[in-house]
Amino acid sequence: MTFKRILGIFIFLLFTTSCFHAHRHALPAGLARDSIIDKETMVHLLADIHIQEAALQVMQNRNPNIRKEIVSSYNGLFSKYGVSAKRFRLNLDYYRYDGDEFVKMYENVVKEIESRKNSLKP
């Protein structure tokens, strides 16, 4: 995934979340306090998702009929972190309520992706 794409996603999220002014303590319907994914884990999960999406995009360009592989790869990623797709979505909603905190979280996601990218360089 290129830095421009990551930056574009980040800016999009900044604009879509900047309008939220809900209380930080408000939980999305269906999310219990003990189901909140901690910020550090959420950062790693989001970084993995963005890296996976980039890989899947390349695969889909080569073979547009990879729907099963896409679903399987997301299920594998959620399983790695011990969360369901629903729990992930609810946590994403929870963190988006506070736009400033969400932007900070995504800054850490970008740093995590860059760190992984740099660790692959010889």
Distance CA 95, CA 77 (A): 20
Distance CA 49, CA 77 (A): 8
Which range among 4-8, 43-47, 100-104 has the greatest average pLDDT?
Answer: 43-47
Q: Answer yes or no: is pLDDT of 90 > 80.
A: yes
Distance CA 70, CA 41 (A): 22
Torsion of CA 96, 32, 48, 55, to 10 degrees: -80
pTM for the structure as a whole: 0.74
Q: What pLDDT digit, counting tens, does each position of 14-55 carry?
A: 555 555 444 455 788 888 888 899 999 999 999 999 999 888
Amino acid at 12: F
Which pLDDT value is given to residue 30? 82
Which pLDDT value is given to residue 34? 85
For the record, the structure tokens of 54 come out as: 């980039």
